[in-house]
Amino acid sequence: MPVLDRDPSKDLGDLEGLPKLPLPALKDTLDMYLRCMKHLLTEEQFNKTQNLVKEFGAPGGVGELLQSKLMERRENKANWVYDYWLNDMYLNNRLALPVNSSPAMVFPQQTFRAPIDSLRFAAHLISGVLEYKTLLDAHALPVDYARGQLAGTPLCMEQYYRLFTSYRLPGLDRDTLVAQESTVMPEPDHIIVACRNQFFVLDVVINFRRLNERDLLTQLDKIVKMADSEEEELPPIGLLTSDGRTEWAESRSVLMRESTNRDSLDMIERCLCLVCLDDASGPQLSDSSRAMLMLHGGGVAKNGGNRWYDKPMQFVVGADGCCGVVCEHSAFEGIVLVQCTEYLLKYMIGSPSKLVRAASVSELPAPRRLRWKCTPEIHKLLASSADKLQRLVRNLDINVHKFCAYGKEFIKKQKMSPDAYIQVALQLAYYRCHGRPVSTYESASIRRFQQGRVDNIRSATPEALAFVKAMTDGKLSTSDKEKMELLQSAITAQTKYTILAITGMAIDNHLLGLREIAHELKLEKPELFKDEGYLISNQFILSTSQVPTTVEMFCCYGPVVPNGYGTCYNPQTNHIIFSVSSFHESPQTCSAEFVDCLVQTLLYMRDLCKRCNSASNPNEQRKGQALDSQTQTETNWQNKTPQKHSELSKNQQTVPQVLVNTLDQTKVEAQTQTSSQGEAHTLQNGSKS
């Protein structure tokens, strides 16, 4: 299969008319870098960083040389940063995909009264997948358009065409994103069904006819019966895909020695997607436990081996109604996952299942069980993978919370961007928990450009820190009016940086490009990129993403550093769903404590807004007086010692892991497009929420 390094515009035609990603001026990026980092470093660290930046950007220096080479690259490539970004974000990373990289979308809890009900759901879902694939094949999917700032700009659709035609191939040093090309070989006409850790080929086109739901149900029923046959049960080979990428690459090379295994791998790697029929996972499931089951399958004892993590789309249908989709993230952003899954759920709601019962007798050929020849060496590798997955399962601490006090409607009434407001709340909540600001990642889509993926909104702004300090310093002399002004300043700063990011002028992709072009030119790594400040800047202890949906579901993912939080949020009209993850092994983090701080923060920010609004509106004064009774409670909260304060400096300067989770931001585009002058108008016209 060919490597996905060609210009997709040659086959898709989706890039026509889209501008190329701009290249920011070197001075602008270096100045912004210093501004972003000054308040996150000690004075000594910052002085060193400042000197290195000055040296790097000096006239005739290495920075100017690298910038000129990047300008040449921009002329010759559809997107100058795409390959660098893809390798740095995903393919170079050696961590296991579950939890560390692959996000999951958790569907509403289903009620299956009998085993056949879950198979009906799966058959209906597969039917929706085939409908969606038909739209993709015909290039009939409507083009997405930007909303908010620069509304109406068409967006790059390239990522959609990788949903069912790509595969992440493990490598010893770097993975490869491969893609099927119909000009080279026929499009795959099968999906892989995982059941009881066994894998089955389900042909969805037989004799040039697409299977209907009745046929799909018949075949799924056969698969379940085949999986129940203990004498034919094979080892849970899928566990190998949950291992570190180098370990899985080594295991795959061992598997490839046998022709039987090569054939089975080929069928999996060329399939449209996986459908994982999971066993029930025990007692009644909470949102948090369902999120964990989606991210890692519950480990070896549950459904951890009933997966193949290299495939972009794995639809999970649990016998207990725990359903969702796990995605391999290198091929596309969260927006594509949201759009696809929303289409499927709406298809299933709007197109009632055409099933009455499964046909008792069918002329369809039976699905094929994939065979594996397992040597003692492979059994040993499986045991090792199983142990590591269990450690990952035990380590993940996830807390899914539905905040019901208010949602984006209240925030919009304050003439504030919901996304910027929530980002400032996250800064305050983290500071309450840990007593310090930290480098923060929020993904921003750059799909308005050819092959656009994402850049980073650096939410830990100096303005956010000023607001946070005013809210936590315990000084009763700081008036509500002053706090409100600081909040509005923080939201304005967040919004301005967001606009920089979505228009291709943020700093992270640019700095990455400068670093990588130096490596390509075989230059010694510039001192700027060896600097402790640079390492801290890329240690994203808060990895955040807004993933709003129009149907009931939520997204979740793991932290990107050992002492960090993964924080995904879904703002709805009158509530906000938060999915907060961390690792139990870190003494610094606790998802439940962070959620508690976040809830208190959101309540306090609401009350601040209400008090300030009532102060400026005499008709609201009586309502404002009703909040007076809360003031003492808020003061107590304000003066509360941060829960992790004693360890606030521990590991602050550890070298970051390379991986940064990046889920796309919005239903149509990842952006908080609200300007400080026209927020109300912009929000009305479809800002980030």
pLDDT in tens, 163-211: 999 999 999 999 999 987 655 456 678 999 999 999 999 999 998 889 9
CB 114 within 8 A of CB 55: no
Q: What is the pLDDT of residue 667?
A: 33
Q: What Cα–Cα distance (Å) separates residue 38 from each residue in 190, 242, 465, 554?
A: 54, 39, 11, 35
Q: What Cα–Cα distance (Å) separates residue 553 from each residue in 105, 124, 153, 291, 400?
A: 7, 18, 28, 11, 12
Q: What is the pLDDT of residue 232?
A: 75
Catalytic residue among 329, 401, 434, 510: 329
* 3-class secondary structure per residue, 198-229: EEEEEECEECCEECCHHHHHHHHHHHHHHHCC
Q: What is the pLDDT of residue 233?
A: 78
Terminus-to-terminus CA distance in the chain, angstroms? 39
CB burial class (10 A; 0-12, 13-18, 19+) of residue 20?
middle
Helix (H, G, I), strand (E, B) or coil at 331: coil
Cα separation, 453 vs 434, whole angstroms:
32
Six-digit token string for 478: 């700081």
Token pair 């959609």 is found at 160
431-444: string of b/e by CB count within 10 Å (b at 16+)?
bbbbbbbbbbbbbb
Element holding 392 (H helix, E strand) = helix 376-395
Cα separation, 543 vs 121, whole angstroms:
34
Could you report the per-residue pLDDT of 500-559, keeping only the tens digit for each?
999 999 999 999 999 999 999 999 999 999 999 999 999 999 999 999 999 999 999 999
pTM for the model stands at 0.88
Residue 572 has a CB neighbour count (10 Å cut-off) of 20
In CATH terms, the fold of domain 98-353+363-397 is: Chloramphenicol Acetyltransferase (3.30.559)
Helix (H, G, I), strand (E, B) or coil at 255: helix
Cα separation, 114 vs 280, whole angstroms:
12
Helix (H, G, I), strand (E, B) or coil at 168: strand
Q: Any bridge partners for residue 577, and if so which?
A: 402, 570
- CATH assignment, 18-77+404-616: 3.30.559.10
Whether 510 is a known active-site residue: answer no
18-77+404-616 and 98-353+363-397: identical CATH topology: yes
Cα separation, 266 vs 546, whole angstroms:
36
Cα separation, 317 vs 367, whole angstroms:
18
Element holding 538 (H helix, E strand) = none
Q: DSSP letter string over 629-656?
A: GGHHHHHHHHHPPPTTGGGTTTTTTPPP
CB 382 within 8 A of CB 245: no
Q: What is the pLDDT of residue 85?
A: 98
CB burial class (10 A; 0-12, 13-18, 19+) of residue 476?
exposed
DSSP label of 535: H
DSSP label of 536: H
Ranges of residues in the chain whose predicted pLDDT is under 50: 1-14, 184, 356-361, 620-635, 641, 644-689
Residue 608 has a CB neighbour count (10 Å cut-off) of 18
CB 531 within 8 A of CB 84: no
Helix (H, G, I), strand (E, B) or coil at 333: coil
Six-digit token string for 429: 């909540």
What is the residue extent of each domain of the chain? 18-77+404-616, 98-353+363-397
* Backbone φ and ψ of 49, nearest 5°: -60, -45
Helix (H, G, I), strand (E, B) or coil at 661: coil
Helix (H, G, I), strand (E, B) or coil at 451: coil
Pairing of strands 198-203, 190-195: antiparallel
